[in-house]
Structure 1
Amino acid sequence: MKHQQSSTFVDLTDYQLHLRRLTPLHIQHPPVLMLHGAIENGRIFYSHQGKGLGCFLADQGFSVYCADFAGRGKSQPAASKDFDHSQHQLICRDIPALIEHLYQQYQQKIHVVCHSWGGVVLAASLARFPQLCEKVASVSYFGSKRRISVKSMAKTIQVNWLWNQVGPWLCRRYGYLPAKKFRFGADNEPTQFLLDTIHWINTETFIDPTDQFDYAAASKSCPWPASWFFAAVHDKVLGHPTDVQLFMAETQLQQAKFTLLGAEVDDLHGYDHISMLTHPKAQLGHFKALAAWLISQR
């Protein structure tokens, strides 16, 4: 392991956002901010043993910061009946604060790497506040989709039943979504955030349910940073390649770089929604390619 790990926090008065800082022994490249998806936290990108995309990039000389969204991971306080948090807050307050925090610290553009729903809220934040794009060198999206249009038995079980119906019922009972307790997620979720995701997953329009801001319309004039979208051949529901490309289209990023992992003969593994970021063979393939691409984006 060619980096050191520590924790730092961004104070937003009524809550604190945790950042796991992966500091290379020899800093060579701009900082990288990593944003996780729903029912997970920043650990999707790193482990204490040095595994994961975040650790890989840190070992290549990038200063990496893996964020925990409000209520998740080591952010304080944790999701509970006494602490709720919305998608609107994340888009309008938290993500701009994280970008600004790193930009002010390093005085240079940052790279952003997103997994799943993290890419949706990041894109929404950039579309809503296009001036943030001046501080972002590139964005990489892994399995990011806004709505789930594909139809399958797996989607019926995971989305229509578990997410859309059981999730809100659990929130009414516990005051938050206890995904860890019931073993269908790596972390718990605030109630309002869950309800906001359900709204977007099941609607065709990319409009904020809180104040009706039209993200699709704003995307048309957004000065997007260089972008690379990854989908996985065995991601059948949560980041289906079709839905990833629908997300690219509604954000006006149809011409962005797109890679379907596991589709080529020389691919090292048939990746899915999680293993695209966790499988050991990834560092020999797309992790290495991503690092080279980030270096080329200034």
Structure 2
Amino acid sequence: MQSSSELFPVALLSAEFRGDLSEDVYRLKPGNSPDYSVELALTRLGVANQEQRGVPVILLHGSFSNRRFWYSPKGIGLGPHLARAGFDVWIAEMRGHGLSPRNQSYSGNTVADYARYDLPAIAAFVREQSGQMPHWVGHSLGGITLAAALGGHYLNEQSAASVALFGSQVSRVYWPLKLPPLEWGSRLLLKGFDHVSGSRFKRGPEDEPMGLVLESLRWHRLFGRFGDAERDWWAGLSEVQVPVLAVTAAGDQQDPAWACRKLAEQFKAVPSRYLCLAKEQGFASDYGHVEMLISKEAQQEVWPLVAHWLSVGRLPSEIAQD
């Protein structure tokens, strides 16, 4: 693999113009995890013929998804919106998603792997290329991964200027998993599978490795915790020094507002901001889990708020929820 970085091997897979946008696709091979085969795709968006790029923003997709959540083939999405607003946009794809090939230990991939190895490598490369500290935006599992990286101290104020979490929570209770026999039985059954098919279960275009599912079972079982064998990520969140914005949606049935707010409140060392996208807060609708970022209403109401947060580190006072 040729390298366009002094940190680790990086290949520039393509450099294209997409209408008014420039699109550069990189593939990183950090070699920093036990599975040396891991390669990560990063898409960099900017305005075509732009002389100087703005502040870098890294976007992380959720489960069963890829870069197209942020950037459609027609050049529509939060990614292009931020690029046209002057930001230096980087869209990451997790192991085995989109343009990131499946690694040798794909079935065992976990949030712990993403948080401990992949996000720090992405942060280092973006800082090297841009010369600036990046902001991070994560949706659903992408936001959970950011919370794990912050709580585990794999990302800190030297690698994140701010973090925005959309529809992300770890506090929803699944009572059957609190019964040890059911949790053990579920674990034994699921261990026989390699992955969960996103298309088969109509969850999205990508598959998810079974390691993520088994990891979630550990978090939600009796006496489980948000963390791994080495660190309690939930406890670590109270020490985070990075500004945090948590956005939830009143119509989100997957990650309910109360649970997202509980995650936001765990960031105790610095003021965190919480925003609920709901009619009673003045928004056009009670947004859903996906619609909070992908809908015509989100294009008009939510995308400008994200750009405002990234620019000044706060939301307009009339809709900010503290």
Q: TM-score, normalised by structure 2?
A: 0.78
* Larger of the two Rg values belongs to structure: 2
Contact 2:243 2:270 in 1 (8 A): no
Question: Residue 176 in 1 paired to residue 195 in 2?
Answer: yes
2:124 maps to 100
How far does residue 170 in structure 1 lie from its aligned partner after superposition? 8.3
Measured in 2, the distance between the counterparts of 1:292 and 1:61 equals 12
Identify if the C-alpha distance between structure 1 residues 173 and 58 changes in structure 2 by more than 3 Å, giving closer, same or farther.
Answer: same
Question: Pairwise CA RMSD of aligned residues?
Answer: 3.0
CA-to-aligned-CA distance 1:101-159 (integer Å, 9 cap, x gap):
101111111110000121122122123226632231111111010131389xxxx9xxx
Gaps of at least 5 residues in structure 1 are 157-163
- The aligned counterpart of 2:56 is 31
Runs (4+) of structure 1 exceeding 4 A deviation are 80-83, 164-174, 201-205
Correspondence for 1:216: 234
Alpha-carbon spacing, 1:3–1:133, altered in 2? closer, same or farther (3 Å) = same
Change (3 A) 1:190 1:132: same
Measured at CA, do residues 253 and 275 of structure 1 come closer, stay the same or move farther in structure 2, by a change above 3 Å? Answer: farther
CA drift at 1:291 = 0.5
**Matched residue of 1:22: which SS?**
strand
Instruction: Tell which deviates more after alignment, 281-290 or 193-202.
Output: 193-202
Is residue 2:42 matched to residue 1:19?
A: yes
Within the candidate set 130, 134, 139, 2:163 is matched to 139
Structure 2: runs of 5+ lacking an equivalent: 1-18, 32-36, 177-182, 315-322
Q: Are the counterparts in 2 of residues 54 and 64 from structure 1 also a CA contact under 8 Å?
A: yes
Q: Which residue of 2 aligns with 1:45?
A: 70
Residues in 1 aligned to 2:252 and 2:131: alpha-carbon distance in whole angstroms: 37
The correspondence for 2:275, drawn from 253, 259, 262, is: 259
Residue of structure 2 in register with 1:233 after alignment: 250
Number of positions where the alignment pairs a residue of Structure 1 with one of Structure 2:
284
**Please, which of 87, 109, 112 is the counterpart of residue 133 of structure 2?**
109
Using a 3 Å threshold, how does the CA distance of structure 1 residues 144 and 204 change in structure 2: closer, same or farther? farther
Following the alignment from structure 2 to structure 1, what is the Cα–Cα distance between the partners of residues 184 and 205? 19
Change (3 A) 1:255 1:3: same
Amino acid at match of 1:228: L
1:51-200 maps to which residues of 2 (within 5 A)? Answer: 51-77=76-102, 84-129=108-153, 132-149=156-173, 172=191, 174-200=193-219
With normalisation by structure 1, the TM-score equals 0.84
Q: Cα distance 1:2–1:88, how it changes in 2: closer, same or farther (>3 A)? A: same
- Secondary structure of residue in 2 paired with 1:65: strand
Identity of aligned residues (%): 25
